[in-house]
């Protein structure tokens, strides 16, 4: 087993490389995959490229204190991440049922990381190393960096910085902040004095030196009054830009404070290129071969990341808090070089599965002023209407896709990450839309209207349904013009805040008229640090502080979900109950507009149904008799 190109994962690996003590030990809840789609690979390779040695402890046994000591005491710090997903999302469905498969674990085995993995690992390290700095990062730490609602325990939790016993949080994507932290530690600055780095969160008892800080409601006050949490969250939301963000101060009992510094500036194209040019092995660690490898790599092995950040502003998405609203891109040459590496893989069949990011067709900031003045605090780029300053232009993305299509060995380039259809329609030039349909759809284009009721869409931060209708009409027309039979697969969400049974039924009626029943339905999942989760917890929309209907009852959530798949026999009872409860019995019957048939027929209904069911048989019998008669006449 040759693992010489990977980071050290054992004392033997360290000895082979002549390393007596590592600068950093990275503890992660995922299996070790050295690929730029995995956060632990990027952070460790970035540090390595700047002269720091890093070892990897992947999925340690959290029941064994010695599991985090196998690489010894690091010279500078432990780095801790729960993995590419929040560990609770990884473990549980929205109904809080334990999942049976973990794509980030060898063989897909579930149970190789604990619940709330970042906090558990932090506390585990503290048992053996009381004085070694602990820096936490990744999606779990990033989105739980301040006090937050935890759906799985249905409780209001403290900053993960406190619960993990860590010293610092490196939030967001982390490449810049982790280097600044490393340099500070290497220069001899004590971790308790590292309070000046953008993109970090620290704890302190002295806030006298904080310039232009905004003091949020205290943890105790927010726990007692949910309205205060909604207001606090909106303040945080308005301070997620590196140009305009201010330090945020969250008080805790005993005179302690958790302080969030403003975000790091977005990566430049040159910096993005440098990150993706690092010497990744682009596969899982060889020690996993006997277990069948790590399933998650299959989704991204032949995909290309072209951008970061998203100005789409969907309420249920945490990208604003993690990657920010300013789009950052790689150069064409960087992406083409990686594509050439893909074509050299022995099992590459000529198909690049995706070229995109959070939103595939965002290849530049939404307007020119973002790079110097930041994103607007109180306005969105696309919601409720595209901003007058929006620069809707697909020319750069189109040029990139054409270059990829022209590479030797590439047969097809697909786009499978999200296409923002309202942005697509805002582009006055239809060239990209036409080439998307002609070259980049694999039979089905997945889009995310999420709902059709405007009352729900406004809470989601999505465009009104009329915009999606225009998109579908244009998509159909282009397919007809190009002689293609390609379909749209809409992603739909049930029980989002603002959705009552009325809106859920309206969505079911829309699907009935469309003649489409989704195979999969996403029930709204309240994950940390989203506007929608705050609505779910507080019953208020933080943007206007107005009350919002929230479906919290598991049974009603099941009814709303079932309505989207009303044709499925297993959903009959839930759909029947929902229609009855909403006084929409007009949708129970035999008319073509009905969603389901009656459960028990009245005598009159049964007679009508029997008559209808007998009519074809009578006609058939008459046809048979007439046929025999004609045969007899011909025989005479």
Q: Give me the DSSP letters along 361-427.
A: T--S-SSTTHHHH-S-SS--SSSSS--TT-----HHHHHHHHHHHTSTT--EE---SPP-HHHHHH-
Q: How far is CA 606 from CA 573, 601, 620, in A?
A: 20, 5, 22
Confidence of residue 561 (pLDDT cuts 50, 70, 90): very high
Q: What is the mean pLDDT of the chain?
A: 93
- Give the ranges where 523-602 is alpha helix by DSSP (H): 531-538, 554-564, 572-581
144 DSSP 8-state letter: T
pLDDT of residue 626: 43
On whether the 273-516 domain is CATH 3.30.1490.100, my answer is no
The answer to whether 440 and 413 have CB atoms below 8 angstroms apart is yes
Query: Tokens standing for 373?
Result: 């003045």
pLDDT of residue 371: 81
pLDDT of residue 531: 98
pLDDT of residue 519: 81
Helix (H) or strand (E) holding 127: helix 117-128
pLDDT of residue 3: 64
* Residue range 321-369, pLDDT digits in tens: 999 999 999 999 999 999 999 999 999 999 999 999 999 999 999 998 8
* CATH topology classification for 11-200: Rossmann fold (3.40.50)
Q: How far is CA 412 from CA 50, 299, 439, in A?
A: 37, 16, 7
Mean pLDDT, range 91-120, rounded to an integer: 97
pLDDT of residue 418: 85
Find residue 588's DSSP bridge partners. 596
What SS3 class is residue 251?
strand
Mean pLDDT, range 54-63, rounded to an integer: 98
Which residues contact residue 382 at a Cβ distance below 8 angstroms, ignoring those fewer than 6 apart? 311, 312, 313, 366, 390, 420, 422, 423, 463
Mean pLDDT, range 396-406, rounded to an integer: 98
Lowest-pLDDT range, 28-37, 325-334, 442-451, 474-483? 442-451
Kindly tell me if the per-residue pLDDT of 613 is higher than 60. Answer: no
pLDDT of residue 610: 55
Q: What is the rounded CA–CA span in Å between residue 636 and residue 19?
A: 106
Find residue 546's DSSP bridge partners. 541
pLDDT of residue 614: 52
Nearest to 40 by CA among 85, 102, 71, 98: 85
Q: Give me the DSSP letters along 422-483.
A: HHHHH-S--HHHHHHHHHS-SSEEEEEEE-S-HHHHHHHT---HHHHHHHHHHHHHHHHHHT
Which residues contact residue 578 at a Cβ distance below 8 angstroms, ignoring those fewer than 6 apart? 501, 504, 505, 559, 560, 562, 563
Nearest to 319 by CA among 306, 307, 332, 310: 310
Strand pairing class (134-137; 283-284) = unpaired
Mean pLDDT, range 182-202, rounded to an integer: 98
pTM of the entire predicted model: 0.91
The answer to whether 41 and 320 have CB atoms below 8 angstroms apart is no
The domain locations on the chain are 11-200, 273-516, 602-627
pLDDT of residue 17: 95
Nearest to 463 by CA among 397, 375, 390: 390
**Residue 18: exposed, middle, or buried by beta-carbon count in 10 A (0-12, 13-18, 19+)?**
exposed
pLDDT of residue 1: 52
* Residue range 571-607, pLDDT digits in tens: 999 999 999 999 999 999 999 999 999 986 555 555 5
Q: What is the rounded CA–CA span in Å between residue 470 and residue 439?
A: 21
Kindly tell me if the per-residue pLDDT of 217 is higher than 80. Answer: yes
- Give the ranges where 201-287 is alpha helix by DSSP (H): 219-224, 226-237, 269-276
Helix (H) or strand (E) holding 623: helix 603-635
Query: Tokens standing for 174?
Result: 């982390």
pLDDT of residue 70: 98
pLDDT of residue 630: 39
Q: Give me the DSSP letters along 291-354.
A: GT--TTHHHHTTEEE-EE------TT--HHHHT-SS-EE--HHHHHHHHHHHHTSTT--SEE-E
Measured from the Cβ of residue 102, the count of other Cβ atoms closer than 10 Å reads: 26
- The alpha carbon dihedral of 65, 68, 72, 74 has a sign of negative
Percent of the chain beyond pLDDT 90? Answer: 90
Mean pLDDT, range 66-81, rounded to an integer: 98
Q: What is the rounded CA–CA span in Å between residue 384 and residue 398?
A: 27
Lowest-pLDDT range, 206-215, 240-249, 593-602? 593-602
Residue 98 φ/ψ, nearest 5 degrees: -65, 130
Kindly tell me if the per-residue pLDDT of 625 is higher than 70. Answer: no
Q: What is the rounded CA–CA span in Å between residue 51 and residue 32?
A: 21
Number of residues in the chain: 636
Q: What is the rounded CA–CA span in Å between residue 364 and residue 112?
A: 39
* Residue range 473-489, pLDDT digits in tens: 999 999 999 999 999 99
Q: Do domains 11-200 and 273-516 have the same CATH topology?
A: no
């Amino acid at each position: 087993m040759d693992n010489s190109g990977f980071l050290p994962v054992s004392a033997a690996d360290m000895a082979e490389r002549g390393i007596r003590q590592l600068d950093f030990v990275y503890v992660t809840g995922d299996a070790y995959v050295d690929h730029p789609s995995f956060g632990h690979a990027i952070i460790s390779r970035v540090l390595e490229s700047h002269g720091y040695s890093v070892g990897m402890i992947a999925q340690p046994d959290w029941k064994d204190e010695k599991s985090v000591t196998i690489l010894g005491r690091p010279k500078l710090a432990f780095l801790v991440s729960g993995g590419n997903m929040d560990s609770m999302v990884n473990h549980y469905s929205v109904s809080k049922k334990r999942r049976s498969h973990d794509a980030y674990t060898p063989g897909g085995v579930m149970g190789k990381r604990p619940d709330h993995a970042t906090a558990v690992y932090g506390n585990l390290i503290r048992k053996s190393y009381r004085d070694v700095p602990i820096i936490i990062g990744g999606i779990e730490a990033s989105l739980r960096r301040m006090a937050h609602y935890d759906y799985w325990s249905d409780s209001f939790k403290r900053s993960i910085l406190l619960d993990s016993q860590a010293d610092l949080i490196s939030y967001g994507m982390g490449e810049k902040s982790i280097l600044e932290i490393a340099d500070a530690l290497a220069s001899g600055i004590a971790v308790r004095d590292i309070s000046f780095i953008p993109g970090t969160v620290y704890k302190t008892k002295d806030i006298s030196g904080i310039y232009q800080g905004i003091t949020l409601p205290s943890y105790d006050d927010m726990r007692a009054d949910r309205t205060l949490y909604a207001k606090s969250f909106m303040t945080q939301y308005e301070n997620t830009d590196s140009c305009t963000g201010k330090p945020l101060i969250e008080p805790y009992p005993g005179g302690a404070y958790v302080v969030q510094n403003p975000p790091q500036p977005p990566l430049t194209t040159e910096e993005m290129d440098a990150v993706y040019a690092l010497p990744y092995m682009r596969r899982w660690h060889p020690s996993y071969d006997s277990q069948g490898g790590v399933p998650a790599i299959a989704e991204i092995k032949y995909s290309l990341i072209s951008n970061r950040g998203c100005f789409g502003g969907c309420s249920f998405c945490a990208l604003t808090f993690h990657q920010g609203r300013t789009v950052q891109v790689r150069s064409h040459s960087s992406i083409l070089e990686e594509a050439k590496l893909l074509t050299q893989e022995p099992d590459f069949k000529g198909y690049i599965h995706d070229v995109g990011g959070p939103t595939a067709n965002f290849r530049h900031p939404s307007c020119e002023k973002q790079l110097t003045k930041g994103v607007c605090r109180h306005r969105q780029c696309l919601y409720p209407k595209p901003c007058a300053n929006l620069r809707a232009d697909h020319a750069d993305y189109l040029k990139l896709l054409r270059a990829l299509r022209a590479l030797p060995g590439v047969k097809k380039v697909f786009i499978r990450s999200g296409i923002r259809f309202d942005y697509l329609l805002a582009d006055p030039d239809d060239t990209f839309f036409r080439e998307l349909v002609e070259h980049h759809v694999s039979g089905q284009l997945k889009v995310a209207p999420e709902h059709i009721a405007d009352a729900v869409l406004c809470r989601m931060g999505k465009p009104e349904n009329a915009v999606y209708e225009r998109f579908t009409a244009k998509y159909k027309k282009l397919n007809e013009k190009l002689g293609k039979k390609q379909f749209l697969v809409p992603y739909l969400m049930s029980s989002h805040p603002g959705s009552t049974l009325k809106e859920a039924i309206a969505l079911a009626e829309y699907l009935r008229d469309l003649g489409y029943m989704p195979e999969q339905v996403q029930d709204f999942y309240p994950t940390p640090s989203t506007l929608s989760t705050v609505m779910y917890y507080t019953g208020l929309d933080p943007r206007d502080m107005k009350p919002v209907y929230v479906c919290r009852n598991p049974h009603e959530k099941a009814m709303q979900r079932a309505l989207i798949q009303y044709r499925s026999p297993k959903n009959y009872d839930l759909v029947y109950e929902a229609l009855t409860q909403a006084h929409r019995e007009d949708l129970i019957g035999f008319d073509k507009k009905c969603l389901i048939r009656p459960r028990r027929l009245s005598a009159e209904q049964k007679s009508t149904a029997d008559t209808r069911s007998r009519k074809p048989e009578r006609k058939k019998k008459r046809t048979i008799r007439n046929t025999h008669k004609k045969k007899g006449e011909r025989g005479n």
